[in-house]
Amino acid sequence: MLEIAVQNQAIADWSQLAQLAGWSLLPLARLGVLVAIGAILFRVGIVTKATVDALSRLTVALLLPAFIATGVLSQFRPEQAFYQGWYLLPISAVLMIAGFALLAWPIALAGRSWLHPRYTVATLSFHNAGYLAIPIVTELYARGSLAKYQGAMLALLFLFIMGISPLMWSIGVMAFRDPAGTNDRAAWRNAISPPFIASVASVLACLVGIPQLVEPQTLTQILSPFTMLGTCTVPLMMLILGATLMQLDHSYRPPIGFSVMALALRLVLFPALMFGILSALLHWGVLDHSKAVILFVESAMPTAVAMTVIAHRYGGERTAQAASGLIFLQYIFAAATLPLWLTIWGWMFGYQVG
């Protein structure tokens, strides 16, 4: 009887795992369709490099700040138990970047004949916190009983981004910048981007209680024009990502051995390490489940596409193309690793945060 019970439990577990695999693949498949559409539009010439640049500026200057500000102002309430310890998210972003940079140094040194270790570490360390993470969290919490948590989970993600964005546009820029080129002031000025300003300003407004002074329905009406702008962000981000990946020059392919080590660290070992750390923190009750989901999703991300922009702007042609090739490989293999990690997390911990 005991053997039959164990067999039935195993069957139930595998059935649950298969269901979770399909469930985690669905949001990534939908996003993948949008990325493919963006790539096709670029390939047939409907979308050009000038179009991508213009749409990217529009997204960064208006749509993404609107998306962040409305999400934070409508959801973030520091006095609520759900957001207790919210400041751990931007701090965690800094710690994750620093930790990954340390882990990446041995691999960077091993591949120094192909690319300078400083560039390799910078290329690998800054994980995607916006163009891929925002759509994934949006899709994970878009249906069923999880839909009611979507706004709150996005608010937590924006708090995480508030920690990574200034580092990427300051330290990331300085890693690629020619010391004889642009001055320090110009490099640091890039850290003060519209999404970062929107994050800080909206968080400060919530901390001093400004949105709380308005009735929820009235606040919704006030924010509604900006909410409409924000709803364009996710699909446009995916179209831009597809078109951007099509522009990468793949003539500077990294060596196979180096590629395997870099991809294994970025997409397998680091998420596995974070899985173990977060599992322990959840077990000890140090971290609540909602923040753990955000941190784990971020740990499984490939490098931010923005690093290709930084490499092309501040690095030499050889460095920029090499970094772009390494980033492109990450996105190819992330199509397999991301659904796998999302399935494993869902199987072990689920995505309920209430």
| 19-346: CATH number | 1.20.1530
Q: Residue 264 corresponds to which tokens in the numbers above? A: 């294994």
- Interatomic CA distance for residues 346 and 26, integer angstroms: 14
Nearest CA to 234 out of 120, 133, 122 is that of 133
In this structure, the number of other CB atoms found within 10 A of the CB of residue 242 comes to 24
- Interatomic CA distance for residues 101 and 179, integer angstroms: 21
pTM of the model: 0.81
- Interatomic CA distance for residues 254 and 257, integer angstroms: 8
Nearest CA to 115 out of 269, 326, 312 is that of 326
Work out whether the CA dihedral 51, 54, 60, 65 comes out positive or negative.
negative
Q: Domain ranges for the chain, please list them.
A: 19-346
Nearest CA to 120 out of 136, 134, 135, 109 is that of 109
The predicted structure's pLDDT at residue 306:
75
Q: CA separation (Å) from 16 to 13, 123, 340?
A: 5, 37, 14
On whether the CB atoms of residues 353 and 137 are closer than 8 A, the answer is no
Q: Residue 353 corresponds to which tokens in the numbers above? A: 């945060």
The predicted structure's pLDDT at residue 315:
73
pLDDT in tens, 209-245: 999 999 989 999 999 999 999 888 878 877 887 887 7
The predicted structure's pLDDT at residue 186:
52
The predicted structure's pLDDT at residue 191:
56
Helix (H, G, I), strand (E, B) or coil at 1: coil
- Interatomic CA distance for residues 104 and 121, integer angstroms: 6
- Interatomic CA distance for residues 86 and 88, integer angstroms: 5
On whether the CB atoms of residues 164 and 126 are closer than 8 A, the answer is yes
Name the strand (E) or helix (H) holding 125.
helix 117-125
Instruction: At 148, give phi and psi (nearest 5°).
Output: -70, -15
- Interatomic CA distance for residues 173 and 188, integer angstroms: 8
Q: CA separation (Å) from 250 to 53, 246, 318?
A: 20, 10, 11
The predicted structure's pLDDT at residue 127:
83
Q: Residue 306 corresponds to which tokens in the numbers above? A: 């923005």
The predicted structure's pLDDT at residue 21:
60
Nearest CA to 172 out of 91, 242, 110, 101 is that of 101
pLDDT in tens, 98-112: 999 999 999 999 888
The predicted structure's pLDDT at residue 290:
94
Neighbouring residues of 15: CB distance < 8 A, sequence distance ≥ 6: none
Could you list the pLDDT tens digit for every one of the 354 residues in the chain? 433 333 333 333 556 555 556 656 666 677 788 889 998 999 999 999 899 888 888 888 898 889 889 989 999 999 998 999 999 999 999 999 999 999 999 999 988 888 888 889 988 999 877 667 888 888 888 877 888 999 999 999 989 988 887 788 778 878 887 555 444 445 556 556 788 888 889 999 999 999 999 998 999 999 999 999 988 887 887 788 788 778 766 666 788 889 999 999 999 999 999 999 999 999 999 999 999 999 999 999 998 877 877 777 677 767 877 887 888 888 888 888 988 898 889 888 888 886
